[in-house]
Structure 1
Amino acid sequence: MADPYFFGYGSLVNAATHDFPDPQRATLRGWRRAWRHTGLRPVAFLTAIPDPDAEIDGMIAHVPGDDWQALDQREWAYDRIAATDAIAHKLTHEVEIAVYAVPEHRHAPASAAHPIVLSYLDVVFQGYLRVYGPGGVDRFIATTDGWTGPVLNDRAAPHYPRHQRLSPEELRFVDDRLARIGVPLVDRL
Structure 2
Amino acid sequence: MGEFFGYGSLVNLATHDYPGARPVKVRGWARAWRHTALREVAFLTAVPQDGAELDGVVAQVPGGDWDALDLREAAYLRLVLPEGPSIYHIPEGHHAPASRAHPVLLSYLDTVVQGYLQLFGQDGVDRFFATTQGWDAPIRDDRAAPVYPRAQGLTAEETALVDRKLREIGATRL
TM-score, with structure 1 as normaliser: 0.91
Distance 2:82 2:60 in 1: 13
Q: What is residue 79 of structure 2 aligned with on the other side?
A: 81
Distance 1:122 1:99 in 2: 22
Distance 2:114 2:59 in 1: 18
Q: What is residue 6 of structure 1 aligned with on the other side?
A: 4
* C-alpha displacement of 1:52: 1.1
Say which SS state the counterpart of residue 39 (structure 1) adopts: coil
Say which SS state the counterpart of residue 71 (structure 2) adopts: helix
Q: What is residue 70 of structure 1 aligned with on the other side?
A: 68
Deviations, residues 134-163 of structure 1 (Å, cap 9, x unaligned) = 110110111110000100000011110000
Distance 1:100 1:143 in 2: 17
Q: Please list every run of at least 4 consecutive aligned residues from structure 1 whose deviation after the TM superposition is greater than 3 angstroms.
A: none
* C-alpha displacement of 1:28: 1.0
Within the candidate set 136, 152, 169, 2:140 is matched to 152
1:43 aligns with 2:31: no
Q: Percent identity?
A: 57
- Please identify the structure whose Cα radius of gyration is greater: 1
* C-alpha displacement of 1:171: 0.6
Distance 1:28 1:48 in 2: 11
Tell me the C-alpha RMSD between the 2 structures: 0.7
* C-alpha displacement of 1:84: 3.8
Q: What is residue 115 of structure 1 aligned with on the other side?
A: 103
Deviations, residues 22-58 of structure 1 (Å, cap 9, x unaligned) = 1001111100000000000000000000001101000
Distance 1:184 1:129 in 2: 22
Distance 1:44 1:162 in 2: 15
5+ residue gaps, structure 2:
none
Distance 2:66 2:172 in 1: 37
